[in-house]
Chain A
Amino acid sequence: MKSLFDPCTLAVFRKELRDTLRDKRSMMMFMVFVLMYPLMMMGIMNFVIKKSTAGEKEEITVIVSGAEYAGRLVNDLRAAEITVQEENLTEDAEIEARLKKKDLTAVIVVPETYPEQYNELKPATLMLWFNSTSDQRSKLNRVNSILRQYEAVTAQSRLLQRGVAPALINPIDIQEFDTATAATRSSQLAGTILGFMFVFAFYFCLNITLDSTAGERERKSLEILLVQPATATQIVMGKWLAAALFSAVGLTLELAAANAILGKLPLEEIGMSWQLGWNGLALVLLLSMPLCLFAAAFEIAFALNSKSFKEAQTNMGFIMFIPMLPVLVVAITGAESAPWMYSLPVLGEQEVLKALAKGEVLQWWQYLAPAVTSTVLSIACLLFASKRMASERFVLGI
């Protein structure tokens, strides 16, 4: 590894950096990759939060038939900011037709007999019509809770008048104590959504690796590089460091953007929180640097085999799927955290991030395992690529 900081290596490194920075299209792609995922995540989370609080904020409309028999109920509904349409519906078919409409949550039918039953302290019947196939679940729950409250007020009043303490209805006071904090509840979010961020480490350096390997081969500029007084290993190293730098910078920007966005989102609305903070983020970044090194090495090793930029792109489409596979499998099967997960690149980093977001303390090996694996794999890829680069037959495409 003495060639790592050889002047020749650094010269190649500077050249590749300059090439990529000059290429407007590459830089555009880079920025798109950096911002795409955090923004997409913001959109999705916003949608989820909106949906979960929809019951409170969305317009709820109910039709009350026979509203004159249950004035207090109508008042209670209106006080809860529910739009009440008073309309007398007698036929079932009419009600069904009304409920076919998307914007109606329920139809409450108060029959003529209701006040009489109520005043005689009998269970007074009213009908709550709804359509469970429509997307009105949360709204219907809200209407239901108002109905239950309406009933509880009545029951309490009746009991007190009979000289019975309302507390007797609930003889057992079940105190629910949840040991999960909002942070631990959010670990699913941190794991799945954020873990995916590490996959992008492979995309940030994609353009530069393809261009500096397959691209150079296609343009026949690789030969010019090889006649310079630098060994094949030094050339590979230079290209690798330049690519890894892009990956690292991209990952840093992306995680910073995600952290800023998650800190701003009203996650508490869905019982979650984002507690990583900039310190935790710095630690995660530090631990994921080897992953950036691996991503660059991995792509260089594979892209070197392609004769043209186009071909490399096509091949990469498949190859990139390999490091993503464990992440997808775990996300789909919902597998619990297990020690072996820490030893895989991408998945390992994801597990560390998940644990940090939960506020858990990890063992030292759990921190280091993904870094070690990534480093070992990087070295393997680099050895392979250097061997390739050293072979004249390969470079000249004979």
Chain B
Amino acid sequence: MGFIRLTLAGLFATTSVAGALAADLKSVSENCHLKGFRDPLRCLQVTVPADYQRPDENQYEIFVAIAPSLRENAKPDPVFVLAGGPGQSGSSIIHLLANAMQKLRATRDIVFIDQRGTGRSGKLDCPNLKDQMFSLDEQQSVAMFRECVESHSVDFSHYTTANAARDLDKIRQQLGYNQINLWGGSYGTRLAQTYARLFPENTRALILDGVASPEQVLAVWSKDAQAALDKLFQQCAQDEDCRAAFPNLQQDFVNAATNIKAGIPPVRLRHPRTGEWIDVPLTYEIFADTVRTALYSPTTMAALPQLIHLAAEGNWQPMVTALLTYSEWTQDAMAILLTFSVACAEDVPYIDEATIESERASGFLEGLQARTWPQLCQQVPVNTVERHSTETIAAPTLLLSGAYDPVTPPWRAEQAMQHISTDQHIVVPQLSHGISNVGCAPKLLRDFLDKPNDKVDDACLQSTRFPPFVVSAAGPRP
């Protein structure tokens, strides 16, 4: 039996533990499908302490969805995807797998997390408040918000970015990963940086798309929003069609703003979805916030000059249609109460009178959020959290910015880079908030994570075009 036994022993000796991790995943998770992606994923709930100071008291369940890597010899370091907001859930951005994460998924597991208080991890939401968006005055909104806060029996002070980062590490342990990469979008970049500072030894690399710097205070957005709008006016002036159609765009904006501040009758229109006749009392604040929302994406930006121009002529219906349409796109996904639990603990306490004054004077938004959020925060029982640490991050980091971004513009990334030792920054001139899904970006993400210390060649992204402006009833020029 000699040689046969030898051969077999040899075989078993050469089998590696490559499949061990996959087996781990199999045992702790189950097959599931989530809206937005065709293939099966693996889902699980991870139990975490509500309060890390008192880990034995209360527990939360965190929902996690994993897209296992497509190649068997998966790299040991997965990508943790951190959604924006705060308030967006990982399971609501599963569609990123179809494009942004597609190249990464070849060799790495992609892990989506519903941050505590979002999505399927005990969503903190106020659905009624969203439904009543336009029918309430300020007082009524605050009262309704308070009602919503009181209807939740949770300790809101547990819902901080730092705790969300500790949850990530619990998930990492449960899934048996050693080091992880983090992809963060928008607010997710704050969470990713927080994780990298709390757990530097477990962080392999960071990809930050639409970067919030540690110094940044949420709701203080006027200056950046104005800069983005000015850029749009410039772009229109340089574009033949847009210039011909709206030669006095900047004046149009001033006129529209003046008119609405003076007060206009409620806008009567058919609801774009239901077709019912509705009256929308339009205020300057709602107008300003609609413009700000439109600046988030090149597609909506391309339609903005026409909306402004028509409004200046006294036709507000298209503007309200846009507003109602945008809000339907974004509303459901956000967990409003989680947004405020985080902002009221980490940002709003740092908005002082001086900040509000300078906000009022630094752009069309006139400090809308900076003025109203403190009122709402009085209703949310949380403890003020220290400003975010600016300790240096050693993990190699790729930062992505769109030049038009009204909330996380490129200079914010530059600010964040002062506290990161190994970094590279890609600015795409024709894009706004969110880069990873566009053009060759998915490939660049893969290139970066494969060799995080090498320079990524971003030439293919730089040729991204600005979408054609909408210039007439027929749409953009043919």
Knowing A178-B40, A274-B71, A276-B72, say if A69 contacts B15 (CB, 8 Å): no
Q: B322-354 interface mask toward A, CB cutoff 8 Å, 1 = contact, 0 = none?
A: 101100100000000000000000000000000
B73 touches A277 (CB 8 A): yes
A273 touches B70 (CB 8 A): yes
B475 touches A154 (CB 8 A): yes
Name the CB-closest residue of B to A293: B4
What's the least CB distance linking A3 to chain B, in Å?
14
Is A5 part of the binding interface, using a Cβ–Cβ cutoff of 8 Å? yes
A163 touches B321 (CB 8 A): yes
Name the CB-closest residue of A to B7: A248
A-facing residues in B107-130 (Cβ within 8 Å): none
Interface-lining segment among A84-92, A111-119, A369-377: A111-119
What's the least CB distance linking B292 to chain A, in Å?
18
State in angstroms the CA–CA spacing of A248 and B463 once bound together.
Answer: 55
B-facing residues in A159-178 (Cβ within 8 Å): 160-161, 163-168, 175-178
Is B477 part of the binding interface, using a Cβ–Cβ cutoff of 8 Å? yes
B-facing residues in A243-297 (Cβ within 8 Å): 245, 248, 252, 263, 266-268, 273-282, 285-286, 289
Q: B259-286 interface mask toward A, CB cutoff 8 Å, 1 = contact, 0 = none?
A: 0000000000110110000000000000
Is B314 part of the binding interface, using a Cβ–Cβ cutoff of 8 Å? no
Is A121 part of the binding interface, using a Cβ–Cβ cutoff of 8 Å? yes
Is A179 part of the binding interface, using a Cβ–Cβ cutoff of 8 Å? yes
A163 touches B269 (CB 8 A): yes
A115 touches B478 (CB 8 A): yes
Instruction: Name A282's contact: one of B15, B73, B473 (CB within 8 Å).
Output: B15
Q: Which residues of A contact B36 (CB under 8 A)?
A: 175
What's the least CB distance linking A160 to chain B, in Å?
6
Assuming A72-B477, A157-B303, A158-B473, what are 9 further A-B pairs, CB within 8 angstroms? A118-B478, A124-B478, A153-B475, A154-B476, A160-B318, A161-B306, A163-B318, A282-B11, A282-B14
Q: Which residues of B contact A120 (CB under 8 A)?
A: 474
A-facing residues in B461-478 (Cβ within 8 Å): 463-465, 467-468, 470, 472-478
Q: Which residues of A contact B105 (CB under 8 A)?
A: 268
Is A182 part of the binding interface, using a Cβ–Cβ cutoff of 8 Å? yes
State in angstroms the CA–CA spacing of A274 and B115 once bound together.
Answer: 32
Knowing A71-B478, A266-B106, say if A160 contacts B72 (CB, 8 Å): no
B106 touches A160 (CB 8 A): no
Instruction: Name B14's contact: one of A154, A161, A278 (CB within 8 Å).
Output: A278
Q: B3-15 interface mask toward A, CB cutoff 8 Å, 1 = contact, 0 = none?
A: 1100110011011
Name the CB-closest residue of B to A176: B38
Knowing A118-B478, A175-B35, say if A75 contacts B11 (CB, 8 Å): no
State in angstroms the CA–CA spacing of A268 and B322 once bound together.
Answer: 39
Instruction: Name A177's contact: one of B33, B72, B318 (CB within 8 Å).
Output: B33
A-B pairs with beta carbons under 8 Å apart, 28 shown: A70-B478, A115-B478, A118-B474, A121-B473, A153-B476, A157-B303, A158-B473, A160-B322, A163-B270, A163-B317, A165-B272, A165-B328, A166-B325, A182-B39, A266-B106, A268-B105, A273-B71, A275-B72, A277-B19, A277-B72, A277-B73, A278-B15, A278-B18, A282-B14, A282-B15, A286-B11, A289-B7, A289-B8
Name the CB-closest residue of B to A119: B474
B476 touches A268 (CB 8 A): no
Q: Which residues of B contact A181 (CB under 8 A)?
A: 39-40
State in angstroms the CA–CA spacing of A166 and B328 once bound together.
Answer: 11
Is B55 part of the binding interface, using a Cβ–Cβ cutoff of 8 Å? no
What's the least CB distance linking B237 to chain A, in Å?
19
Q: Which residues of B contact A164 (CB under 8 A)?
A: 272
Name the CB-closest residue of B to A244: B4
Is B27 part of the binding interface, using a Cβ–Cβ cutoff of 8 Å? no
Is B459 part of the binding interface, using a Cβ–Cβ cutoff of 8 Å? no
Instruction: Name B2's contact: one of A5, A161, A281 (CB within 8 Å).
Output: A5
Q: B48-92 interface mask toward A, CB cutoff 8 Å, 1 = contact, 0 = none?
A: 000000000000000000000011110000000000000000000
State in angstroms the CA–CA spacing of A177 and B40 once bound together.
Answer: 7
What's the least CB distance linking B307 to chain A, in Å?
9
Q: A68-81 interface mask toward B, CB cutoff 8 Å, 1 = contact, 0 = none?
A: 01111101000100
Q: Which residues of A contact B303 (CB under 8 A)?
A: 157, 160
Instruction: Name B467's contact: one of A153, A176, A274 (CB within 8 Å).
Output: A153
Q: Tell me the interface secondary structure of chain A in the complex.
A: helix
Q: Which residues of A contact B19 (CB under 8 A)?
A: 277-280
State in angstroms the CA–CA spacing of A124 and B474 once bound together.
Answer: 11
A273 touches B465 (CB 8 A): no
A121 touches B72 (CB 8 A): no
Q: Which residues of B contact A69 (CB under 8 A)?
A: 478
A279 touches B106 (CB 8 A): no
State in angstroms the CA–CA spacing of A193 and B12 once bound together.
Answer: 25
Instruction: Name A178's contact: one of B14, B39, B464 (CB within 8 Å).
Output: B39
State in angstroms the CA–CA spacing of A73 and B465 once bound together.
Answer: 13
With most chain A CB atoms within 10 A of its CB, the pick from B2, B12, B475 is B475
Q: Which residues of B contact A267 (CB under 8 A)?
A: 70-71
Is B151 part of the binding interface, using a Cβ–Cβ cutoff of 8 Å? no
Is B16 part of the binding interface, using a Cβ–Cβ cutoff of 8 Å? yes
Instruction: Name A114's contact: one of B3, B464, B472, B478 (CB within 8 Å).
Output: B478
A278 touches B71 (CB 8 A): no
State in angstroms the CA–CA spacing of A280 and B38 once bound together.
Answer: 27
What's the least CB distance linking B387 to chain A, in Å?
41
State in angstroms the CA–CA spacing of A118 and B478 once bound together.
Answer: 7
State in angstroms the CA–CA spacing of A179 and B463 once bound together.
Answer: 38
Q: Which residues of A contact B8 (CB under 8 A)?
A: 286, 289
State in angstroms the CA–CA spacing of A179 and B468 once bound together.
Answer: 40
B272 touches A79 (CB 8 A): no
State in angstroms the CA–CA spacing of A58 and B322 once bound together.
Answer: 39
What's the least CB distance linking A118 to chain B, in Å?
4
B-facing residues in A36-74 (Cβ within 8 Å): 69-73
A179 touches B2 (CB 8 A): no
State in angstroms the CA–CA spacing of A182 and B105 once bound together.
Answer: 12
A160 touches B273 (CB 8 A): no
What's the least CB distance linking A81 to chain B, in Å?
9
State in angstroms the CA–CA spacing of A118 and B270 once bound together.
Answer: 26
